[in-house]
Amino acid sequence: MKMNRLGGKVVELKKLYKAYGDKKILEGFDYTFSKGERVGVIGKNGAGKSTFLNILQGLQEPDSGKVNIGDTIIFGNYSQQGLQVKTDMRVIEFVKDIAEHFPLAKGGTLSAAQFLELFLFNPDKQYTYISKLSGGEKRRLHLLSILFRNPNFLILDEPTNDLDLPTLGVLENFLMEYPGCLLIVSHDRYFMDRLVDHLLVFEGEGVISDFPGNYTQYRLQEDKKKMAGESAQLTVKPTVAPQQATPVEKKKFLLKKNVSLSYCRKKWKI
C-alpha cells in the first residue's frame, strides 16, 4: 500500500506528566517515534495505556509536557468505541464517502468495493444497510473504514478483543505490509509477536520501559526474573536447574490466501 507522505517528523513526546488524582499515568515520559516504527503497548488493566494513546494523538491534554505531531501525520485510531454513523446507509455508500480509493505502494489502487471484499464483505453485504449488519460486521466495517482513510500512523487499542478470527487474519495480513507507524495495545501474544518490533511496557505508577523484543521474549525474560527471585529466596539450592519456558509456536489467525493484499493485486490485476 502507498502511504500518505510522511515528513521528517513523526511524533515527539517531551517530558509528559499525567495523573488522575494520585493515580500516576506518565512521569516525565520522553519518546520520539520514527518512520515505520512498530510498537506494542502492554501493561495491566488501568495502567494508563488508553490514556497515553489519547495524549499521543492530541485527543487529551497531558498535565504538563509537549506533544509535537508532524504536519503530515494522519492518525488512524481503532478503539472499542465502535462505529458512529449519523444516518443509515448502504455499506458501499458509507465506504465510498470516506475516499475514492485506496492507493497501493506498487502502483494501482483498490476501489471501495475491492477493499470491502478484501475485508470479507461480499457484494450482497456491500449493498446491505449498516443498521442491518451484525455487531461483528459493524466492528469489521469500523476497522476497514479507518484503514481506508490511509492513515500513516495507525493506533489499535485491543483489536483482538472484539474482532473475530477471520477478520483478525485479514487485519494481520494487511498490517504485515503496512509501511506506516504502528502502535498496538494487545494482550494477545501471537498477534503482537508477528507485528511489532519492540514494546512499551506500562509497569504502573507512571513507569514505562522500552523492551527491545516481542511479547514472547518479554514473557520469557519476566519468567526468568521470577525464577531467579524465587531461587534466591531458597536456603538450599535446587539440584535441578529450573527449566526454561519454551516459546509457544506462533499461531496464524487465518491461512486463507484470498485475504492478503498481494493476492488481491493478482486477482484484480493491479
Ligand X SMILES: Nc1ncnc2c1ncn2[C@@H]1O[C@H](COP(=O)(O)OP(=O)(O)OP(=O)(O)O)[C@@H](O)[C@H]1O
Taking the least distance from each CB to ligand X, the nearer of 7 and 46 is: 46
Q: In the structure grid, which three cell numbers stand for residue 201, read together?
A: 511496557
Q: If binding is defined by CB under 6 A, does position 24 make contact with ligand X? A: no
Given a contact cutoff of 8 angstroms between Cβ atoms, the answer to whether 94 and 148 are in contact is: no
Taking the least distance from each CB to Mg ion, the nearer of 95 and 192 is: 192
Q: Taking the complex as a whole, how short is the minimal distance between the CB of residue 53 and Mg ion, in angstroms? A: 8
Q: If binding is defined by CB under 6 A, does position 81 make contact with ligand X? A: no
Q: If binding is defined by CB under 6 A, does position 51 make contact with ligand X? A: yes
Q: If binding is defined by CB under 6 A, does position 20 make contact with ligand X? A: yes
Other Cβ atoms less than 10 A from the Cβ of 252: the count is 12
Residue 117 to residue 110: CA distance in whole angstroms: 10
Which of 1, 9, 50, 162 forms a contact with ligand X (CB under 6 A)? 50
Q: Taking the complex as a whole, how short is the minimal distance between the CB of residue 235 and ligand X, in angstroms? A: 39
For residue 109, count CB atoms less than 10 angstroms from its CB and return exposed for 0-12, middle for 13-18, buried for 19 or more: middle
Residue 46 to residue 1: CA distance in whole angstroms: 35
Which of 3, 6, 18, 43 forms a contact with ligand X (CB under 6 A)? 43
Given a contact cutoff of 8 angstroms between Cβ atoms, the answer to whether 48 and 18 are in contact is: yes
Q: Taking the complex as a whole, how short is the minimal distance between the CB of residue 246 and Mg ion, in angstroms? A: 30
Question: What would you measure as the largest C-alpha separation in the chain, in angstroms?
Answer: 71
Backbone φ and ψ of 128, nearest 5°? -80, 155
- The number of residues that bind Mg ion (CB under 5 A) is 1
Q: If binding is defined by CB under 6 A, does position 180 make contact with ligand X? A: no
Which of 5, 45, 107, 235 forms a contact with ligand X (CB under 6 A)? 45
Q: Taking the complex as a whole, how short is the minimal distance between the CB of residue 92 and ligand X, in angstroms? A: 33
Which of 26, 42, 47, 144 forms a contact with ligand X (CB under 6 A)? 47
Could you tell which of ligand X, Mg ion, none binds residue 41, using a CB distance below 5 to 8 A set by kind?
Answer: none
- Closest to 13 (Cα-Cα) out of 26, 24, 29: 29
Q: If binding is defined by CB under 6 A, does position 11 make contact with ligand X? A: no
Q: If binding is defined by CB under 6 A, does position 62 make contact with ligand X? A: no
Taking the least distance from each CB to ligand X, the nearer of 43 and 151 is: 43
Taking the least distance from each CB to Mg ion, the nearer of 157 and 172 is: 157
* Contact positions with Mg ion (CB under 5 A) in 40-79: 50
Other Cβ atoms less than 10 A from the Cβ of 136: the count is 13
Q: How many degrees, rounded to 5, is the angle at CA 80 between CA 191 and CA 35?
A: 55
Residue 160 to residue 107: CA distance in whole angstroms: 31
Residue 21 to residue 209: CA distance in whole angstroms: 23
Backbone φ and ψ of 211, nearest 5°? -100, 125
Q: Taking the complex as a whole, how short is the minimal distance between the CB of residue 201 and Mg ion, in angstroms? A: 15
Contacts with ligand X, residue ranges (CB under 6 A): 20, 23, 25, 43, 45-51
